[in-house]
Amino acid sequence: MRRLVRALVVLAAAHTAYADAAPLRLEQVAPGVYVHIGQHKDVDDGYDGDIANIGFVVGLDAVAVIDTGGSYAVGMALKEALRAITRLPIRYVINTHVHPDHVFGNAAFIDDKPGAQPRFIGHAMLPQAMALRGDMYVRNLKKQLGGAADNSTLVAPDETVQDRLSLDLGRRKLELRAWPGAHTNNDLTVFDAASGTLWTGDLLFIERTPAVDGDIKGWLSAMDALERLPAVATIPGHGPVTRDKYQALDRQRAYLTTLLRDVRTSIKNGTGMTETMGTAAASERGRWQLFDVVNRRNVNLIYPVLEWE
């Protein structure tokens, strides 16, 4: 409660400065389902907090926001876009995982009106991940955005998902599923049964090189399960919405499988990690945006882990 009160005091003072934020551009991918497609920018090169896919689902009685962007300003711009479409109360703010480009806009959705406060929802491991990484994320954001990072704070979930959770927006149910270690150790997917729309968070990347921050083998396993889920439209964490998630998952699987094989081969042959950064998954280079920078980071993360297989 004290955390919320402090946040409300800060945000009340900040709201006026952001009240006229230009609304984000939205794509309606199904009736009542809106998404803003993030840009393909690296966090170390021209990052402005707007690289993740974020959006919301509108039910008969209420709205659920799914990821909020990489800064308070981006979150406010999403909120302005939402309010241009509906005045229904925002009942839930759902985070698909801990990464800052998906969660720093949470603070924009804190509401000081009686009974208007949404419930923040995340994976059971999300509070721990926020606690462990929060200070570092805030420092990095201030370096990346300068003054544009103002009022960007992490808001931990009020309710967590250990396995599955169903949320009702009024004749519209969202099915949330928590996943074992994959892209991160706190991945959550959201399925809107009314439209057949699946929000994968960063369990699926399209166009942008998939970034590993968890268990690459677990991620491949999660993708096999994702493939079995029904979906008319699939909203990835990054990249365009697709109506053929099977092709998108196959493309991502090819990259991750190649990366895993090549790093294992380097370790077996005694090739060092630095050299492996320049060679692993090289056959995939022309198929992904931001490949060189993201792929090197992936090797840096998985090489030491695979050495202990």
**pLDDT at position 115, please?**
75
How many domains does the structure of the chain reveal? 1
pTM above 0.85, yes or no: yes
Q: Is the predicted pLDDT of residue 15 greater than 50, yes or no?
A: no
Q: How does pLDDT run across 168-226, given as a tens digit for each residue?
A: 999 999 999 999 999 999 999 999 999 999 999 999 999 999 999 999 999 999 999 99
- The owner of tokens 């090489």 is 303
In this predicted structure, the answer to whether residue 96 has a pLDDT above a threshold of 80 is: yes
Nearest to 211 by CA among 102, 65, 123, 55: 102
CATH number at residue 54: 3.60.15.10
pLDDT value of position 21: 63
Q: Which domain holds residue 129?
A: 2-306
